Structure 1
Amino acid sequence: MSAEITPQTKGATTSAPATLTGRLRLIGPGIVLALASVGASDMITTMNSGAEYGLALIWVFTVGIILKFVLSEAVSRLQMSGDRSLLSHLTSFGGRLFPTLFLIAELLVGLFFGAGVIAVTTNILQALFPVLPFWPTAVVVLLSAAILVGIGRYGLVEKAMIGFGVIMFFGILALAISVFQGQEAQAVAVETIAPTFPNGSIITVMSLIGGVGGATGILAYSFWIREKSWRDAEWKPVVRIDLFISYALVFVFAVGMSAVGAFILYGQGFTIADNDSLFAIADSLVSRIGEVGRILFLISFLAVVYTSVLGGFSGIAYVTADCIRVLRRYPHQDKLEHEMSAKSVEFRAAIVYLSIATLVIMGLGKPVTLVLIYAAISAFILPVLAIALLVILNRSSVPAALRNKGVSNVLLTICFLLFGFLAVLQVKESVMGLLG
């Protein structure tokens, strides 16, 4: 297939606003990206960072957030350069190879993702309302997400996630401010505010840089802005503001949860090993700031996890459906009659797959071998993404306003090297797990 950018065949329904106020009124996909990118595992990562190092590693999360912003912004520029999706572009480098690998990765993500987040969401609801039975509640949570996303109206998902996002944002801020009260917490802040390396370990730092925010959300962002009809270079300022707000929210989340971990757990030698530890922390807040602290933590926790359910289902379904579309239609996948749609059979089939996989894995447990294979394959998504964006967005066929500039090339190269190194470490860990 030719590597040329397909000309615009479907223009934006409206012109991009020229004022900051007008642009701010349109934000939405970035908020969906932010909420889809953080979940229970990110709460554990950031709170453990605070518990062990206080506020000293906030700079590490900041670097990671900047690099994820760079990747997301580049993905959006590629999407606005024409009607071809990133996965369609990747056929220029090996035919069906990369869409096939991405499809395998997304199917494995879908196999494990739903079971984890639906179970945690159900456990939070049970902690708030102890009379709720597990399985019926889990099925209701799963169906609510599957139906909301499966209807095929992106705007509905966006509105729901923004509502939960407001709860999460103010809940985490209120929680961080509440636990900051008292001389002990203030002493921790003063003692640990200076940036530092954890025990001089560069690998730990690099792992934390890659730890907050997911690859699927970055890939899915291009589909979400397409749903908003942000389709050419005039929308670039809107996209950048949208992404700036997105990663500002991720930053607030990372700092807020690091602060909670620092002010509650710093110096106690306590490590948050799993989701059960988060519930133990919620209970411990009762003695510190009263029952309201426990409820505030659980509601914030619920908002974090349920928005990751909605965003994750939406993102995985879009990427999976586009992989199938490209593989089925190659090399004619970019013809108008084969355009990607959230109402397509592939998209809705992906939602059905996610729902069934969730129930199966919740009932049977995670197969260790598949988990290790998934970890190894998915680790390569970000480095492949970075190198593809470096190559494609430097081509003369890309409109000049959307092409990479020098700073973008440098930052994408850093993304490739960093995430490539982390991918190698993950493959090594997976191989050792398979052999051990």
Structure 2
Amino acid sequence: MEQNSGTGAARGTGAAREAGAAREAGAARGTGAAQSAGATQPVGAAAREAGAPGEAGPVAPRSWAGHLRLLGPGVVLALASVGASDMVTTLNSGAEYGLALIWVFTLGLLLKFGLSEAITRLQLTADRSLFSHITDVGGRLFPVVLLIAELLVGLFFGAGVAAITTLIAQALFPALPFWPTLVVILLSAVVLLWVGRYGIVEKAMMGFAILMFLGIVSLAIGSAGDGDAQATAAQTIMPIYPHTSLITVLSLVGGVGGATGIMAYTFFVQEKRWSGAAWKSVVRVDLAFSYLLVGLFAVSMTVVGAFWLYGQGHSIESNDAVFMVGELIGERLGGWAWILFLLSFFAVTYTSLLGGFQGIAYVTGDCLRVLRRYPHQDDPAHAMSSDAVEFKAALIWLTVCTLGLLTVEQVLGFDRPVTLVLVYAAISSFILPVLAIVLLLLLNRKSVAPQLRNGWLSNTVLTVCLVLFTVLAGVQVVETVSGLIGA
């Protein structure tokens, strides 16, 4: 991946030399020749990584081998998007409906692929961050709305994920005390994001991806050896629509893969210095691989739930129930399966913590940066990156919220403030419809290059996303109001 920077610089320099003049060569290295080749001029932290300021960025490969060598941001997106709640959702789908609802989350992933591809095309149109682009529609309005949503997400996200990751570590090593283990797990993620550049985090996520997906696929294959597996598969393989459980369908469509991850992916692309229409095919391959991994995870968990729990009256509705599934698998297949389940579960939750903190920090930090600098947010001196002060301020916010909320829960003796959780869930559910609206407005402008502008298919997908995710948001609001009244 890193070698492409040198290649891009050499091509930019070669093109400039062919132009013949030294002054033109300097300009070509800065913007002209590099952009015509599909490269970009790095800004902020990216420029410091590339070398001297103004050095040309990487050139988009044309071969399939070159595309595959650049896979990476999509893996980070996949691991950041999948968490313990997705294990609960997919296992419960298998336990209640067998394999019959695989089509539901497959549809959801296809829609989110379309949404991710569109938002990344917006990123490729210019060397600007996501929320800098969004200010073209309504000025500070959308950054303010999304900042509120992300602050509320950050308020509760870390506590739940860090706690369940710690419980998994204790299941693997029973002698570990809860609080010291939790602090080590939390700080390991925060320190890695604080001192490490994006490339280091990407490499760490690649390692966890191998553990996570090999483990989960192995468990799915092991589950297929159960005596009733073939009968369950034959009985439930045909897709159905459970008319009595609309919320189950909607939660599967909207639940696997999150809104924050979709927005954060644009910052991964920016950190890699991919910009211009030449990178569109690279992004599409990377995103396709990402959602293939998420789909593999969802299918594998559904298979485990179907082959071990279907028809037995089980309902997977909490993290504790996920542990019970692991114990059941361990009893049937042996101790190795229990350990493999725990290791895979740990990889799911820890990468969700690491990737979630990274994504929330990018999104929250860029909202803050744009609101502080508007309308001069595109000044290269204040470019968004993992080195930006706003990124690190968001990490501090996440750390304080995680430790603070867990301390409050322990002192007061209750799980979590129900009212605030419901309110934050209702607000965050509007992120995807807001993104769909913004993308329909921004990517249909004539000022957008034809190669990056929306076509009829993109507009159709974004319209479907707008309608579907608005319905999901409405369902969430109804649940919120019911919960508040019930409270």
Q: State the TM-score, normalizing by the size of structure 2.
A: 0.86
Q: Give me the whole-angstrom Cα distance separating, in 1, the residues matched to 2:311 and 2:119.
A: 41
Give the whole-Å Cα distance in 1 for the aligned partners of 2:164 and 2:327.
16
Q: Which amino acid aligns with 2:269?
A: I
Establish whether residue 136 from structure 1 lines up as the match of residue 151 from structure 2. no
Aligned with 1:400: secondary structure? Answer: coil
The reply to whether residue 410 of structure 1 matches residue 460 of structure 2 is yes
1:372 to 403, 407, 422: 422
Q: Deviations over 1:115-154 (max 9, x none)?
A: 1111111100100110111000000000100001112500
Aligned 8 A contact 2:125 2:452 in 1: yes
Aligned residue among 36, 41, 50 for 1:10? 41
Q: Which amino acid aligns with 1:409?
A: N
Distance in 1, Cα, partners of 2:136 & 2:98 = 47
- AA partner of residue 10 (structure 1): Q
Asked if the contact 2:98–2:305 (Cα under 8 Å) also holds between the matched residues in 1, the reply is yes
> How do residues 169-208 of structure 1 correspond to structure 2 at under 5 angstroms?
169-199=213-243, 201-208=245-252
Partner residue of 2:436 out of 347, 368, 386: 386
Measure, in 2, the Cα distance between the counterparts of 1:183 and 1:371.
42
Aligned to 2:74, the other structure's residue is in SS state helix
After superposition, residues 296-315 of structure 1 pair within 5 angstroms as 296-315=340-359
Query: Which deviates more, 89-98 or 62-71?
Result: 89-98
Residue in 2 that maps onto 1:3:
none
1:428 maps onto 2:478 in alignment: yes
| Aligned equivalent of 2:16 | none
Q: Say if 2:469 is the partner of 1:419.
A: yes
In 2, Cα distance between the equivalents of 1:129 and 1:201? 39
Map 1:218-257 onto structure 2 (within 5 A): 218-257=262-301
CA distance, structure 2, for counterparts of residue 204 and residue 333 of structure 1:
42
C-alpha distance in structure 2 between counterparts of 1:93 and 1:79, whole Å: 15
Does residue 401 in structure 1 map to residue 451 in structure 2? yes
The letter for the 1-side match of 2:41 is: K
Structure-2 separation of matches of 1:341 and 1:165: 24
How far is 1:86 from its partner? 2.7
Pick one of 25, 33, 52 that aligns with 2:77. 33
Aligned position for 2:88:
44
Asked if the contact 1:152/1:343 (under 8 Å) is kept, the reply is: no
Q: Which residue of structure 1 lines up, in the alignment, with residue 257 of structure 2? A: 213
Determine the structure 2 residue equivalent to 1:331.
Answer: 375
Cα shift at 1:201: 4.5
2:482 & 2:326 partners in 1: Cα distance? 36
Instruction: Judge conservation of contact 1:74–1:389 (CA < 8 Å) in 2.
Output: yes
Shift of 1:319: 0.3
Q: Which structure 2 residues correspond to residues 82-161 of structure 1 after superposition, within 5 A? A: 82-161=126-205
Instruction: Tell me the matched-pair count.
Output: 430
From the superposition, tell whether residues 370 and 202 of structure 1 become closer, same or farther in structure 2 (CA, over 3 Å): closer
Q: C-alpha displacement at 1:285, in angstroms?
A: 1.6
Q: Is the 8 A contact 2:129 2:270 kept in 1?
A: no
1:40-76 superposed Cα distances (whole Å, 9 cap, x missing partner)? 0000000000000000000001000001101110111
> TM-score normalised to the size of structure 1?
0.96
Matched with 1:269 is 313
Q: Which of 407, 412, 416 is 1:363 aligned to? A: 407
1:416 and 1:297 map into 2 onto residues whose CA distance is: 37
Partners of 2:245 and 2:311 in 1: CA distance? 19
Q: Specify the code of the residue in structure 2 equivalent to 1:369.
A: T
Amino acid paired to 1:385: L
CA-based RMSD of the aligned residues comes to 1.4
Cα deviations by residue, 1:273-303 (Å, 9 ceiling, x for unpaired): 2111111111112221011111111111011
Aligned equivalents of 2:292 and 2:68: distance in 1?
A: 14
Higher relative contact order (CA 8 A, sep 6+): 1
What amino acid is the match of 2:482?
Answer: M
Q: Structure 2: how far apart are the matches of 1:204 and 1:387?
A: 25
Once residues 177 and 105 of structure 2 are traced to their aligned partners in structure 1, the CA distance between those partners, rounded to angstroms, is 37
Letter in 2 for 1:157: V
Q: What letter corresponds to residue 400 of structure 1 in structure 2?
A: P
Work out the CA distance in 2 between the residues paired with 1:286 and 1:348.
Answer: 41
How far does residue 200 in structure 1 lie from its aligned partner after superposition? 5.4
Aligned-pair CA distance for 1:337: 2.3
The answer to whether the 8 A contact 2:137-2:442 is kept is no
TM-fit CA distance, 1:191:
0.7
CA distance in 2, matches of 1:64, 1:305: 22
For the 8 Å contact 2:232–2:306, the answer to whether it is kept is yes
% of aligned pairs identical? 63
Shift of 1:85: 2.5
The structural deviation recorded for 1:223 is 0.1
Matches within 5 A, 1:283-322: 283-322=327-366
CA distance in 2, matches of 1:327, 1:136: 37
Equivalent residues of 1:13, 1:229 under 8 A apart? yes
Q: Deviations over 1:14-46 (max 9, x none)?
A: 211110011101110000000000100000000
Q: Would you say the 8 A contact 1:114–1:358 is kept in 2? A: yes
Match of 1:4 in 2: none
